[in-house]
Structure 1
Amino acid sequence: MTAVETEPELADRVLGGWLGRIAGNMLGKPVEQGEVWTRERIDRYLRRAAALPLDDYLPGPLTEGDRRDLRPEWRSCVRGRVHGSCRDDDVDYAILGLHLLETHGFGFSTEQVGDLWLSRLPYLQTFTAERAAYRNLANGRRPPLTATYDNPYQEWIGALIRADIHGWTSPGAPRRAASLARRDAVLSHTGNGVYGAMWAAALISAAFTAPTVRRAVDEALAVIPAGCRLARTVRRVCALHDTGLAWEETLATVEEETAGLGWIHTVPNAAVLTAGLLYGDGDFTRTIALTVRGGLDTDSNGATAGSVAGVRCGAPAVPEQWKDPLRDTVRSAVLGFDGARISELAERTLRLARTAA
């Protein structure tokens, strides 16, 4: 898999990215609360339900304690209850990014990103850095002040989850994808928060053409400063993987080294995501399962891992248990997009990718 050689193959890979993002997000959504659903607790939950190895959506709760601690969305995200996707910001931002590129083209400005947030995205469906930036926009502040004024979340994962559209529309062009993602990210983030978006966009872009997952990770690392904490942490996961260390031990080691950053910070989540990709070794199910079992921001990490894995394998190879329950339908808070067909979103993304070629 070294090139996207034909139009049908590119279409399959773009659709695979959308399906993977939505399925990975749905898989991780019920346990999206990193301080409660630790890696150890997630695996205990799965063992009690006889759901290891994990090869389908999460099983429903077995105890009242589990029912109380799961996210309320579990009712439409666990196996047997998935009938189309449930709404989530990890998918909303991919849709909003598509609308951004369709409206303003690849020359969009950071200010235009903010304008679309105000006109298309409800304030109460934004969180952490995005909510701070939204509030700053509504109060008349402009970038880059929107990212820095009264915003303690500048290095959290929000910008990273907005990056997929820039990778999907720049297949095999990771530096271009990273540049677009940066222009989007600086509305709300700084430092490692911005680098996370650039890295994720480049990773997804490289997944179209890189011969291996590891090569895609290396190409993505090349677009961010080598000395930043994000790059050092991703390289650390790669090095531990190269030694043959078990997945659990790799995560335990990096967890110690990133202690104190919090479960929504970009850096520890990039470590979980990188481990899921490397130890998943190109297998779609294993990749998203390991990533979600890694804990922290499970739905965001599952979404990005699914996007990378879906791009690499293409829609026909995404296993049926993940894509069929989605019913080609997406729920969204983005004005005008609720109930959209996933296949239509992919077709629109493909048209943009063609113009970028």
Structure 2
Amino acid sequence: MGLHHSELTDRILGGWQGRVAGNMLGKPVERGGYWTRERIDRYLRRTGALPLTDYLPAPPPDAQPGEFELRPEWPQCVRGRINGSCRDDDVDYAILGLHLLEAHGFAFTTEQVGEMWLRRLPYLQTFTAERAAYRNLANGLKPPRTATYDNPYQEWIGALIRADVFGWTSPGDPHRAALLARRDAVLSHQGSGVHGAMWAAALIAAAFTADGPRQAIDTALEHIPASGRLARTVRHTTALHESGTDWSGTLDELESRTGSLHWIHTVPNAAVITAGLLYGAGDFTRTIALTVRGGLDTDSNGATAGSVAGVLYGARAIPAVWTDPLHDRVRSAVFGFDGARISELAARTVRLAAMS
């Protein structure tokens, strides 16, 4: 792997901080059918927040009814009002994955993932494919049937948002990260849903040793089926970037190809994440800002892009405007972890990464 312990520690802390910050940035506008790219940028222009270099501002006082419908949690997620992170499943699953590896090690089974959900995660804090799988578990079904029975969300983004810890604990080993993520993902997903988790885990693992985001993206593609819809879409995104197409034009083209898919589907969201990383051009703030401005599942995409960028550049490269308001604390629905320190979660992750 070639990383000294101090650098490994900084990269993993960067991954955790980047995930939480990116999630918080995107959370107020998480509703892809309503918060289009155009509406997000209109909001930012109305509030004087373009270019976006901080958390979202509060709504403009002269906004018309129905003009800007932020999520109910917005007062805890906008600049000047943040006091630690809001609770969100994008962070809950990173915490739950950490606890899974601490409890069962890297030889964990998919069945043990399900048991961990039932013991540690409240049912009403699960959504889409995860809620379907949870219900199936409670009714006595076993994997992989938990993913397929009465579950129309099998290719949505849920498994991808659970993948970070497998990348963080496999620094420089994307193949291992992808295999771990697959074992987790098949509890609730199939097809592109599983491939998205494998891709995200491999992307984060590759980021520890990659020479920039493009190399990490190319390496991650080696660990999912090359002919699958996800890999084709990611490759198309990189080709548009390489051709000189600007960020907006790239997302226009990608939307024309994937716009028929639901806004929580893995494939269009992976395209937004890829574009954010590429056009972010090595800058943490620009990476998460472009990713969230890309729309769709904004908090999940911001979290994943922030995690990758945090690993690529390390915690020392994340501006204080993103980390200071978090006060090193996370809210979590995972039993026993509410109010946990981000630095402590990162330190526990470092211990697992060192073991691996």
Per the normalisation by structure 1, the TM-score is: 0.98
- Aligned pairs for 1:1-357 within 5 A: 4-62=2-60, 63-65=63-65, 69-356=69-356
Rounded to whole Å, the distance in 2 between the matches of 1:259 and 1:72 is 27
- Residues 174 and 203 of structure 1 are in contact (CA less than 8 Å); yes or no, is this contact kept in structure 2? yes
- Residues 4 and 208 of structure 1 are in contact (CA less than 8 Å); yes or no, is this contact kept in structure 2? no
Rounded to whole Å, the distance in 2 between the matches of 1:94 and 1:67 is 34
Task: Report the alpha carbon displacement of residue 352 of structure 1 after superposing the two structures with TM.
Answer: 0.1
Task: Report the alpha carbon displacement of residue 109 of structure 1 after superposing the two structures with TM.
Answer: 0.1
Rounded to whole Å, the distance in 1 between the matches of 2:120 and 2:64 is 38
How many equivalent residue pairs?
354
Deviation by residue 1:238-275 (Cα, 9 ceiling, x = unmatched): 00000000100000000010121110000000000000
Task: Report the alpha carbon displacement of residue 67 of structure 1 after superposing the two structures with TM.
Answer: 7.9
Task: Report the alpha carbon displacement of residue 64 of structure 1 after superposing the two structures with TM.
Answer: 4.9
Rounded to whole Å, the distance in 1 between the matches of 2:66 and 2:14 is 32
Task: Tell me the SS of whatever aligns to 2:73.
Answer: helix
Deviation by residue 1:269-316 (Cα, 9 ceiling, x = unmatched): 000000000000110000000000000000000000000011111111
Rounded to whole Å, the distance in 2 between the matches of 1:116 and 1:7 is 30
Task: Report the alpha carbon displacement of residue 5 of structure 1 after superposing the two structures with TM.
Answer: 2.6
Rounded to whole Å, the distance in 2 between the matches of 1:338 and 1:114 is 21
Rounded to whole Å, the distance in 2 between the matches of 1:280 and 1:237 is 14
- Identical-residue share of aligned pairs (%): 74
- Residues 43 and 68 of structure 2 are in contact (CA less than 8 Å); yes or no, is this contact kept in structure 1? no
Rounded to whole Å, the distance in 2 between the matches of 1:235 and 1:310 is 23
Judged with a 3 Å threshold, the aligned counterparts in structure 2 of structure 1 residues 67 and 19 are, in CA distance, closer, same or farther, namely: farther
Task: Report the alpha carbon displacement of residue 82 of structure 1 after superposing the two structures with TM.
Answer: 0.8
Deviation by residue 1:77-109 (Cα, 9 ceiling, x = unmatched): 000011100000000000000000000000000
Task: Report the alpha carbon displacement of residue 72 of structure 1 after superposing the two structures with TM.
Answer: 0.7
Task: Report the alpha carbon displacement of residue 68 of structure 1 after superposing the two structures with TM.
Answer: 6.1
CA RMSD of aligned residues (A): 0.9
- Residues 61 and 67 of structure 1 are in contact (CA less than 8 Å); yes or no, is this contact kept in structure 2? no
Deviation by residue 1:10-59 (Cα, 9 ceiling, x = unmatched): 00000000000000000000000000000010001101111111000001
- Residues 39 and 294 of structure 1 are in contact (CA less than 8 Å); yes or no, is this contact kept in structure 2? yes
Deviation by residue 1:165-224 (Cα, 9 ceiling, x = unmatched): 000000000000000000000000000000000000000000000112100000000000
- Residues 34 and 263 of structure 1 are in contact (CA less than 8 Å); yes or no, is this contact kept in structure 2? yes
- Residues 19 and 310 of structure 1 are in contact (CA less than 8 Å); yes or no, is this contact kept in structure 2? yes
- Residues 4 and 10 of structure 1 are in contact (CA less than 8 Å); yes or no, is this contact kept in structure 2? no
Rounded to whole Å, the distance in 1 between the matches of 2:83 and 2:186 is 36
Task: Report the alpha carbon displacement of residue 4 of structure 1 after superposing the two structures with TM.
Answer: 4.8
Q: Which runs of 5+ in 2 are unaligned?
A: none
AA partner of residue 22 (structure 1): V
Rounded to whole Å, the distance in 2 between the matches of 1:113 and 1:91 is 16
Which segments of structure 1 move beyond 4 Å, counting only runs of 4 or more?
A: none
Task: Report the alpha carbon displacement of residue 66 of structure 1 after superposing the two structures with TM.
Answer: 6.1
Rounded to whole Å, the distance in 2 between the matches of 1:314 and 1:179 is 25
AA partner of residue 261 (structure 2): L
Task: Tell me the SS of whatever aligns to 1:224.
Answer: coil
